[in-house]
Amino acid sequence: KELRQRFMAPPVSGLRELRRRRRELRTRMELLIMETQAEMCRALADLDPGASFAVDSWERKEGGGGISCVLQDGEVFEKAGVNVSVVSGFLSEEAARQMRSRGKSLKGKDGKLPFCAMGVSSVIHPKNPHVPTMHFNYRYFEIEEADGTKQWWFGGGTDLTPTYLNEEDAIHFHKTLKEACDKHDLKLYPKYKKWCDDYFYIKHRGERRGIGGIFFDDVDSPSKEEVFQFVKSCAKAVVPCYIPIVKKHCHDSFTPEEKLWQQLRRGRYVEFNLVYDRGTKFGLLTPGSRIESILMSLPLTARWEYMHNPPESSKEAEILEVLRNPKDWVH
């Protein structure tokens, strides 16, 4: 009863199954992503009391399912989604090929690779152009090879995409993530901050999607327990790194010109997600995946103008400079 009250919906694996394998790490990971979903949804709902989350539990016939929580057309948030998925089955050949291209040595039996994947993923698009868009994702992956051995790894990250640059907000966001990383190893934040800047790069535009944060993938050392504890610290940092920024700016006044710039920046967000994002590609390549949940990351509205260039020395040009040349926000 307590677990049901804590979460947005009953867990995908079912309470009986989670209780049966309660000591296994994948059970603890499923509980963590459920808790993270509920914490973020409740924090967002508190800021937008006139709106509510649609909670949508779904099943995947190939194995597993998910819980999608989406708020649309609120006063503060135009669209905010926080999704959990716990899926299993056999890797598609396209997904296996994508993993092998990253250096994974995958040996299936009769061409089949059983897998289990779970994660929490969120994208938040506020109405006010002075409130940044935020994305986070934390996931666990496990593959069983032909000889019965299991490969496992964690991935994830949290990043911020402002329409206009506010240095105080950028410093708060990065410092909060750095503190979460520093609990485990002082080398992690600079390593994963650079990885984030490199990953969220829109090559055809020559700019980053936002001002970064942290990003990592294929992490399988020093031990499963230590990486899980690190991921847990990162997931717990999501609310404190973002919610204070929303509270600070959600009632700021803005002009039609500033709203237009937000729409153009959202266009860049869409370009990255559809052209480059590995999670989107994996979802689209996985049989039985739920397209509505995968494309939850896209905003309700966006805009593309031909050859749009902001005036030099403008606030719009200021954010572009940071997107083209990432900054160190915490030193």
Q: Which residues are catalytic?
A: 135
The tokens describing 204, both together, are 């055809």
Q: How many CB atoms lie within 10 A of CB 97?
A: 12
**259 and 129 Cβ atoms separated by less than 8 Å:** yes
Residue with token string 């867990």: 11
**54 and 292 Cβ atoms separated by less than 8 Å:** no
**Nearest C-alpha neighbor of 52 from the set 41, 63, 39, 68:** 41
Q: What span, in angstroms and rounded, lies between the C-alpha atoms of 273 and 195? A: 17
69, β-bridge pairs = 55, 82
Instruction: Go through 256-269 and write b for each residue having 16 or more CB atoms within 10 A of its CB, e for each that does not.
Output: eebeebbbbbbebb
The tokens describing 236, both together, are 């717990």
Strands (E), the chain: 54-59, 64-72, 77-90, 114-126, 133-144, 150-161, 201-202, 207-208, 212-219
**Nearest C-alpha neighbor of 55 from the set 73, 41, 35:** 41
